[in-house]
Amino acid sequence: MLINNRTELSRDERNTAGKKTVNNQGTQIELLESKIRRKNLIVKRIPDDANEKSQETREKIGTVLQTIGAPTDTARDVDEVTRIEKYNNTRTPPIIVKLTTGRNQEIMELTRS
């Protein structure tokens, strides 16, 4: 009977340790996702064409960045450009720009100028 209680205690301790590990990993994942999202920009009010390709959207983003005074090599500094929603002729879907560097803070300051 005593051996059985020790086994149960050991199992409970392992279960508690496992739960702590899972919680810690969940927190680390949230921090990493947050860090990745910090490099993202959401750009609104850029007209969308019905059959617009990703490269065309990337070029539009490059033009906008040039216009606001944030010259960017879109091939090097922009990882991905995607529209959040599908084409809709009544409203313009926003664009998520995933930057390879953390320049989004610099770009945001330029838009406020």
Q: Which residues contact 46 (CB under 8 A, 6 or more apart)?
A: 57, 60, 61, 64, 92, 95
Domain range for 91: 39-112
60: closest CA among 86, 93, 95, 90?
A: 95
User: What proportion of the chain, given as a percentage, has pLDDT over 70?
Assistant: 88
Lowest mean per-residue pLDDT among 21-25, 31-35, 86-90: 86-90
Q: Which amino acid is at 8?
A: E
Q: Are residues 6 and 56 in the same domain?
A: no
Compute φ and ψ for 85, nearest 5 degrees.
Answer: -120, 170
- Locate 55 and state its tokens: 């490269």
What is the CATH number for 43?
3.30.70.1820
For the beta sheet containing 40-43, the strands, ordered from the edge strand earlier in sequence to the opposite edge, are 40-43, 95-99, 78-83
pLDDT (tens digit, 9 = 90+) per residue, 26-72? 999 999 998 888 888 899 999 888 888 989 999 999 999 888 888 77
Q: Are residues 60 and 31 in the same domain?
A: no
Specify the pLDDT at position 56: 93
Q: Which residues contact 101 (CB under 8 A, 6 or more apart)?
A: 39, 77
Tally of structural domains, the chain: 2
